[in-house]
Amino acid sequence: MISTPMIRRSMDQQAILLMILFCVLLGLQQVMIKSIAESMPPLSQMVVRCGLALPLIAFLAWRQGVGWAQYRQYWAAGLLVGLGFTGEFAFLAWGLEYSLASHMSVFLYTAPIFAALGLHFLVPGEQLTMRQWVGILCAFIGMLVAMAPSADIPDIPHVLFGDALGLCAGLCWAATTLVLRRTALNQTPPSQIIAYQLAALVVLLGPVVYGLGQWQHIELTIGVVASLTFQTLVISFVALLLWFALLARYKASQLGAFSFLSPLFGVFFGVIWLNEPLSWNFIAGGLAILAGVFCVSRG
């Protein structure tokens, strides 16, 4: 079902500040997952954190008047966004087993490029101007420069495979954005959308984790508990609600392009927390990313 197009505003000061907060939180995400990967496989982390966040989101949706009838009414679109969300985090978890957390941050956030292109052709009111096209190109080139393979990184083939999985995660994220804008979920509460996503991931990936025997390799250390608490409450609850609230009010192409800041925070936290290398090409690419973000998000 195609919903009636709704006019979104260009980003204002409040949206910019909230997007910076959102980018900081998501910049931490890959680092938090990678930091406890030896004690708990990334895919298991995804299932556990979504399983813990689902009751919280379902309760919030219920308080907002979302009942079983509403879930059944939009089940087809809900299934699509659930599949996109599941694919995104399945590829992310898989990629983190091969690549650096900083690399995964960058390739996951190619999503705004694909989403902006899709929105440009499919959604009225989301057409990109020439300046915004230049900004997206500049930001994309900046990401390529910032994360160019370095000779001092061992096992390059495995890292490149992980990077490709990160790109697949970005494509799934972009597909989810397009489904949201082209279906009646466009008008539903963010809590209902997130409930579809979390439920789909738990149902689809839970059996996979069990079948792979990953539960047998979990060590509940203090670090694991702290990381899962952060991922559940901050990432799977607060950050997702914030993202959908912004998506309902502002132009997705501008929000998506502004999220190019997330890889910068991801690389920064990777350097500080995981001692990942920082090179001159990252500095040059980072400046290009910021320039692209300015071009696209400027009202």
Nearest Cα residue to 43 out of 180, 160, 212:
212
Please write the tens of the pLDDT for every residue from 212-226.
Answer: 888 877 888 999 999
Q: Find the mean pLDDT for residues 121-130.
A: 78
- For 254-268, b/e burial (b = at least 16 CB within 10 A) is bbbbbbbbbbbbbbb
Cα separation, 30 vs 105, in Å, equals 7
What is the reported pLDDT for 299?
47
What's the whole-number average pLDDT of the chain? Answer: 83
What is the reported pLDDT for 1?
39
Residue 86: pLDDT band (50, 70, 90) is very high
Write down the pTM of the prediction: 0.81
Whether the predicted pLDDT of 206 surpasses 90: yes
Cα separation, 148 vs 13, in Å, equals 33
Whether the predicted pLDDT of 247 surpasses 60: yes
Residue 277: pLDDT band (50, 70, 90) is confident
Q: Find the mean pLDDT for residues 64-78.
A: 90
Residue whose tokens read 């992310």: 92
Q: Find the mean pLDDT for residues 46-64.
A: 93
Please write the tens of the pLDDT for every residue from 136-173.
Answer: 888 788 877 866 766 656 677 787 788 889 889 988 98
Strand-pairing partners, residue 9, are 250
- Contact predicate 195/61, CB 8 Å: yes
| 11-15, 59-63, 112-116, 242-246: least confident range | 112-116
Residue 99: pLDDT band (50, 70, 90) is confident
Rg (CA), the chain: 18
Whether the predicted pLDDT of 3 surpasses 70: no
Cα separation, 253 vs 255, in Å, equals 6
